[in-house]
Amino acid sequence: MVEKKMDCVKIGLIGYGTVGTGVVKILTENSSLIKKRLGYDIVVEKICDIDISTDRGVKIDKSVLTTDINEIINDPEISIVVETMGGIDLAEEMMLSAIRAGKNVVTANKALLAEAGEEIYKAAHEVGVDINFEASVGGGIPIIRTLKEGLVGDKVEFIFGITNGTCNYILTRMTEDGMAFAQALKEAQELGYAESDPTLDIEGLDSAHKLAIIIPITYGVKVDYEDIYTEGISKVDPIDIKFADEMGYKIKLLSILKDTKDGLEARVHPVMIPFRYLLSNVNFNLNAIYIRGEAVGTILLYGQGAGMMPTGTAVVSDIIELSRNVISGRKKRVPPLSFDYADIKKVTPKSMDDIVTNYYLRFSALDKPGVLSKISGILGDANISIASVIQKGRGAGEEDVPVVMMTHEAKESDIRKAFDEIDKLDIISKPSIFYRVEDTTIKRGGRKDEWR
Question: Can residue 193 be called a binding residue for ligand HSE (CB under 6 A)?
Answer: yes
Question: Can residue 206 be called a binding residue for ligand HSE (CB under 6 A)?
Answer: yes
Residue 349 to residues 44, 137, 269, 342, Cα–Cα distance (Å) = 42, 20, 15, 20
Question: Can residue 166 be called a binding residue for ligand HSE (CB under 6 A)?
Answer: yes
Question: Can residue 203 be called a binding residue for ligand HSE (CB under 6 A)?
Answer: no
User: Residue 239 CB, nearest distance to ligand HSE (Å)?
Assistant: 25
Tell me how far apart the alpha carbons of residues 202 and 230 are, in angstroms, rounded to a whole number: 11
DSSP code, position 150 = I
Which of 117, 305, 310, 312 is the binder for ligand HSE (CB under 6 A)? Answer: 305
Cβ atoms 411, 348 nearer than 8 A = no
Residue with Cβ nearer ligand HSE (14 or 306): 306
User: Residue 366 CB, nearest distance to ligand HSE (Å)?
Assistant: 41
Q: What percent helix, strand, coil does the chain show, rounded to 5?
A: 40, 25, 35
Beta bridge partners of 357: 410
Cβ atoms 303, 196 nearer than 8 A = no
Phi-psi region of 156 (alpha: psi -120 to 50; beta: other; left: phi over 0): beta
Q: Which stretch binds ligand HSE (CB under 6 A): 97-105, 150-158, 164-172, 347-355?
A: 164-172
Q: H helices within 39-178, ranges in order?
A: 70-73, 89-100, 110-127, 143-145, 165-177
Tell me how far apart the alpha carbons of residues 23 and 276 are, in angstroms, rounded to a whole number: 37
Catalytic residue among 46, 103, 148, 210: 210
Which of 22, 117, 140, 165 is the binder for ligand HSE (CB under 6 A)? Answer: 165
Beta bridge partners of 447: none
Question: Can residue 159 be called a binding residue for ligand HSE (CB under 6 A)?
Answer: no
Residue with Cβ nearer ligand HSE (16 or 193): 193
Query: Residues in contact with ligand HSE, total (CB under 6 A)?
Result: 9
What does the per-residue mask of binding to ligand HSE show for 106-145, with x meaning CB under 6 A? ---------------------------------x------
Tell me how far apart the alpha carbons of residues 180 and 428 are, in angstroms, rounded to a whole number: 25
* Catalytic status, residue 448: no
Which of 164, 255, 313, 407 is the binder for ligand HSE (CB under 6 A)? Answer: 164
Question: Can residue 232 be called a binding residue for ligand HSE (CB under 6 A)?
Answer: no
Q: Tell me how crowded residue 64 is: count the other CB atoms within 10 A of its CB.
A: 17
Residues catalogued as catalytic: 210
Instruction: Please report, as ranges, the residues that interact with ligand HSE according to CB under 6 A.
Output: 139, 164-166, 193, 201, 206, 305-306
